[in-house]
Amino acid sequence: MVKNTEIKLSVIARDVKKSPTDALVIGVAQGPDGPVLLDNPLTAKSAEAIAESLKVLGLTGAADQVHRLPGLPEAGAAVLVLAGVGKPGAGGRLTEEALRRAAGSAIRQLAGLTTVTLALPTASPADVAAIAEGAAMGSYSFTEHRSEANGRKEPVKNVVIFTDFAADKDLQPLLNRSALIGKAVNATRSLVNQPPSHLFPESFADAAKELSKGLPVKVTVWDEKRLEKEGFGGIMGVGKGSTRQPRLVKVEYAPSKASAKIALVGKGITFDTGGISIKPALGMGDMKSDMAGAAVVLNTVLAIAGLGLPVKATAWLCIAENMPSGAAQRPADVLTMFGGKTVEVLNTDAEGRLVMADGIVAASQEYPDAIIDVATLTGAQLIALGNRTAGVMGSDSVTGPLKAAADRAGELVWPMPLPEELRASIDSEVADLANIGERHGGMMTAAVFLREFVGKGKDGEQIPWAHIDIAGPSFNNGSPYGYTPKQGTGCTVRTLVAYVEDVLAASAS
């Protein structure tokens, strides 16, 4: 269930003759006066001829354009591929994200070929790393449940990157990081894509153990008996309606040298029917992705362990299946959550905040420097920020650096406020809190609910905390674009790894 094929990445100084390949990819930018052929390893004569024909070929240089031409004998490639990189930024410079997307899009669209050489312009080792990362993410495919290929093309196996930085001493660690990040993102996608027939609480916990093999992490699994005994009322309440019992999984990476301690909490609803407050049939199948947050925090900690970063990082996976049945929780039920707070469940479809509350309380008990929770929490996230931009809410000391990390990683997140008037809307007539409140701005209402469960640190102040709502960006039910396939996207793994690196860099200086 957790097998993903990895591409082979290699980097060489540009020399078209030395590198026989199926396709040689060259960039085209969207200039102010039309398409511009970017710096490339062809002879001046060939490059000139191609540059002249760009317009007639109908190319604009827009992102995701991929056009195949017959290979030039000099290029040692069966085909020459022109790949759009979009509009360059100030000074004609391409951003790392533009390169990441162009590389990812080309590798994705060239599926069926074995070896592809990317000859996109690189101005730094970081640009080369971005291309490698894009290629790793663009080569993703999920075929585990197909009995036949049915004309589907195999993903590209080998990617060769042409760059003048091939011999740069800074490059190798950056490339290792790119490969690891690509692996973590792709593993996240596969967990999300896995059908609920195959991925349920117990098998998700098993997959977490399997993925952790060979890494210096400790995995602890709470089964339903232990959850019940220790009072995890939120996770148990949501899981009650299913024949498949809930789990809490803790994945700890604790290197001997650590200069920070971060806790990550993820929503792991392996299928969200809504429970007794059942969802409409249309699109319900997408709710197999309601465990994306847990998949993200798991693979983030595994990536951090793989990189050997000097940080204590713990992932808490709050896993349950939300089903309607005679055993399910009812609207108006009251739960006693882990830590003792009581919650009146007025809508069983607001289940994510119930499992997350338990996880946030458990994470708080270890006094981390910061808690970041990741969840496909609300449809309101999609209304507020759309399909591709995650919402981030919570303590300014965490949300600010998270936004900066997302910018650096090339992911879309946007900070939202937690207006004080929302708090009263989750008051209950019978319990400490109700699990639903003000509908308008429902993404923020959900975050205000979660905030109630963030514990105090040793200093007596609330532990710095941020909540990321990935309801929209975690699952692409539109067309693929850039390095992003259909279905599971693996979003926010890159942001979280970048956040941890930034925290470490700040503590070192």
Q: Which is nearer to Mn ion, 41 or 352 (CB)?
A: 352
Task: Say how far residue 281 (Cα) sits from the centre of its chain.
Answer: 27
Nearest one of 400, 133, 187 to 300, comparing CA atoms: 187
353 classed as catalytic: yes
For Zn ion, the closer of residues 121 and 352 by Cβ is 352
Please tell me the distance from the alpha carbon of residue 370 to that of residue 463, in angstroms, as a whole number: 6
Q: Identify which range of 88-96, 100-108, 349-357, 411-419 contacts Mn ion by CB under 5 A.
A: 349-357
For the range 221-224, what are the long-range contacts, defined as Cβ-Cβ under 8 Å and sequence gap of 24 or more? 221/247, 221/248, 221/249, 221/250, 222/247, 222/248, 222/249, 222/250, 223/247
Identify the active-site residue in 101, 189, 267, 353: 353
Q: Which of 107, 116, 263, 350 touches ligand BES (CB under 6 A)?
A: 350
Among 22, 224, 272, 358, binds Zn ion (CB under 5 A): 272
Cβ–Cβ under 8 Å, residues 81 and 110: yes
Rounded to the nearest whole angstrom, what is the least distance from the CB of residue 269 to ligand BES in the complex? 6
399 counts as binding ligand BES under rule CB under 6 A: no
For residue 376, give both structure tokens: 């496909």
Nearer to ligand BES, 339 or 442 (CB): 442
Indicate whether 272 belongs to the interface with ligand BES (CB under 6 A): yes
- Other Cβ atoms less than 10 A from the Cβ of 195: the count is 13
CB atoms closer than 10 angstroms to residue 441: 22
252 binds Mn ion (CB under 5 A): no
Q: Under the criterion CB under 5 A, does residue 290 sit at the interface with Zn ion?
A: yes
Nearest distance, CB of residue 272 and Mn ion, angstroms: 4
- Residue (97 or 290) nearer to Zn ion, CB: 290
CB of 192 to ligand BES, least distance (A): 11
**What are the CB-based long-range contacts (under 8 Å, 24+) for 226-233?**
230/338, 231/336, 231/337, 231/338, 231/339, 231/340, 232/337, 232/338, 232/358, 232/362, 233/335, 233/336, 233/337, 233/338, 233/343, 233/358
349 binds Mn ion (CB under 5 A): yes
Q: CB-wise, 47 or 382, nearer to Zn ion?
A: 382
Candidates 68, 87, 279, 403; catalytic one: 279
95 binds, among ligand BES, Zn ion, Mn ion, none (CB under 5 to 8 A by kind): none
Per-residue binding string, ligand BES, 365-394, x by CB under 6 A, is: -----------xxxxx--------------
> DSSP assignment, residue 423?
G
In eight-state DSSP terms, residue 200 is -
| Token pair of 479 as six digits | 């067309």
Which of 22, 272, 411, 469 binds Mn ion (CB under 5 A)? It is 272
Sign of the dihedral through C-alpha 429, 435, 439, 443: positive
Closest separation in Å from C-beta 295 to ligand BES: 14
Q: Look up 279 and say whether it is catalytic.
A: yes
Binding mask 411-450 for ligand BES (x = CB under 6 A): -------------------------x-----x--------
Residues that bind Mn ion (CB under 5 A): 272, 349, 351
